[in-house]
Every structure is written in C-alpha cells, then in structure tokens.
DNA sequence: ACAGTTTATCATATAATCATGATCAACGCA
DNA sequence: TGCGTTGATCATGATTATATGATAAACTGT
C-alpha cells in the first residue's frame, strides 16, 4: 500500500463532503455510513483536517463538516499532509544525504517514481476527482434514463 | 515513506551482501555494522529472505549470508515481497472492485503512478544498483588516484 | 432556560511494526 | 570430543496505527 489507511480514509471523506450538492455541512455519521469508515475514528481524522484548515467544523444541530475552500483549491497532498510525513524521506535506501549530487545506488531510477507520486498528490485537486464522479454519475444517469424511458 | 523501514533494511542488506567481491558468505554483524541496522532485527529480516530463497544462510565459522542467485536475477520486488503485501491494493481510494472498467474517482491518474512504482520494483535488479555503486566507486577511485598522483 | 443534536475529547483496546537481549542449535576446526 | 563462532529462535518491550465506547462541550431551536 503506497498510502496509509488513515490517508485513504481522509481522501475518501473529503471527496464525500465535496460531493454535497449544497456545499452545506455534512455530519460525521453520514460520512461514515457513506464511505464505510469507523465513525469515531473518522471523527478524529476530520478534526485534524479541520485544524489543518482543509475543512470547517460546526457543532450542534445543522453542524458537521464542510470544505474550507473550493474543491479546486484543495490538493490531495494537502489532505494527506496532516497524516503522512509525506516527502520527508524520498531516498529509497534511507541515505540521509541522498540527492542528485550524492546519489544512493537507486537514486536516479527511484527519483522518477517518487517525483511522479509527489506530483500526482500536488497537482490533483478534489475538484479533479469530483469531475470524474460527475461523469460517472452522468453515465449512470444516462443508463437509468434510457432504462426508465424504455419502461 | 513509500516503503516500510523493514523493506528499506532488506534492500540495503541485500545490496551490501551483493557488494562482497568474492561472493562469499557475509556475517550478520558485519552487515549490520556496514549499513547501520539493529543486529538482531536484521538477523530476522535476513532469515526471512533466506526462507524466500533470495539468500542462502550457513551457521558456524565461515557461515553467514550470500545471494542465492546472481544479482541480475534478483529484482527489488522479490526482495520486498516477503515483507510488504506489495501490489495487493492498488486502488488509492480503497475501492475493492476498482479497475479500468469500474474506476474509482482517482483511478486513471493514480494508475500511472502505481504502475510506475510497480515496474520500478519489478524491473530493477540488484545488479542494476551494484552497477551504480561500481561507477561511483570508479569515479571516487579516479579522484583519489589523481589526488595521489599529484601528491 | 431547556432539550436535543452534534462535534470534541478522554480513556482504553488491539494489532502491527520496530526493536533488544538472552539463549538455543548448528557448524568448523584443533 | 570439545571449544568457539555463527545464525536461529524465544521472550519481551516500545512505539505507532487503527480503532471503540463513554463523556464533555458547544450549538440550535423552542
């Protein structure tokens, strides 16, 4: 697994929140049900995301979580950052001073891979993933529409 | 960190063993000293690699570990396999049925990254890393020779 | 003010990872 | 045979990741 369970949960939760059509607050319980993640554990994950200014939280009725910024401005790297010490150690062989000048044995080959992963997280936004969902939804709706129409 | 500490130790240890000029057995203690990894912990890692037929072990004087095959025939994936359930879960969002046909929201973008990582481990051999070490050694020797000559 | 809802936090549990030290078992050699 | 070397294994512990359940604190609407 290239990302931890927790980061995976965080990504799925943020995506789920972003899917809310009104952009209104979504309750922990609803998110937990929707993405099938332990409720209290998710609560803590969302809280950390709120502290990291990715989400905003509110208590009481009408409370819940929502995005702190438009989905175009939230990268996957930002979502993962509070949980993974991402990019802290890029050397595959753990060489402290590994770099282009003092490369470890795997440096040149591994660098390409690590860079691609890093760029993926930095460049992909929540909106990018939402867009996909929308197209899938559209396809499904299309299928459903056709089926309904034919019935 | 994209690979676990244990996998990192395993890679470094195998590489260190492969560096032995005679291809003779290398003692755990020597490897541990050379790559700065806890001795007993490394012992267990090496034992697992031996069970996985990556290494061969022998006890007693003249004992130690050596490669079970020429370094060209040992991929990094093989070294990592006994420790990491590598490639078990390729879907970033943990969707069980994620595939080209039923893609998750991140599928198309993430697939490229995951594939590159997988191919890196599958295609890179211990010999490839040794080759680098050799060239670096050559460069250093060259520098040293020049310095020595000039002195 | 109060009742109900919701997040925040506390206390705890479980499993995996990472690691240490002691002892056991095999092996080579005198 | 017996001694010293070496990997193999056992017992244990620390730390982190992954949770679970109970309680506290904040907020809404009445």
CB neighbour burial string for A59-95, b if at least 16 within 10 angstroms, e if fewer: eeeeebbbbeeebeebbbbbbbbbbbebeebbbbbbb
How many CB pairs (< 8 A) connect A and B? Answer: 83
β-strand partners of A131: none
pLDDT given at position B149: 35
Q: Residue B78 pLDDT > 70, yes or no?
A: yes
Alpha helices in A36-97 (DSSP H): 39-51, 76-80
DSSP E strand stretches across chain A: 55-58, 64-67
Please give the share of chain B, as a percent, with pLDDT higher than 70.
83
- B136 vs A: CB within 8 A: yes
Q: Which nucleotides of C are covered by protein (CB under 7 A)?
A: 4-10, 17-22, 25-29
Contact B8 A120 (CB under 8 A): no
Mean pLDDT (whole number) for A44-48: 98
DSSP single-letter state for residue A99? S
pTM for the model stands at 0.87
Mean pLDDT (whole number) for A16-28: 96
pLDDT given at position A1: 59
Contact B2 A2 (CB under 8 A): yes
Cα torsion B27, B31, B34, B37 to 10°: value is: -140
Mean pLDDT of all residues belonging to chain B: 88
More confident residue, B11 or B144: B11
Is the distance from CB of A58 to CB of A28 less than 8 angstroms? no
pLDDT band at B151; cut points 50, 70, 90? very low
Per-residue pLDDT tens digits for A76-106: 999 999 997 655 668 999 888 899 999 999 9
Mean pLDDT (whole number) for A115-139: 83
């Amino acid at each position: 697994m290239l990302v931890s369970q927790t980061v995976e949960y965080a990504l799925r939760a943020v995506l789920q929140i972003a899917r809310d059509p009104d952009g209104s607050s979504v309750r922990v319980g609803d998110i937990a049900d929707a993405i099938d993640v332990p409720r209290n554990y998710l609560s803590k994950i969302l809280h950390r995301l709120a502290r990291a200014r990715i989400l905003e939280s509110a208590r009481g009725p009408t409370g819940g979580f929502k995005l702190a910024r438009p989905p175009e401005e939230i990268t996957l790297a930002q979502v993962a950052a509070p949980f993974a010490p991402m990019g802290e150690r890029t050397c595959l062989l753990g060489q402290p001073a590994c770099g282009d000048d003092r490369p470890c044995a795997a440096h040149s080959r591994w660098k390409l891979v690590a860079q691609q992963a890093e760029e993926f997280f930095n460049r992909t936004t929540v909106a990018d993933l939402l867009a996909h969902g929308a197209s899938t939804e559209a396809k499904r709706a299309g299928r459903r529409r056709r089926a309904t129409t034919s019935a």
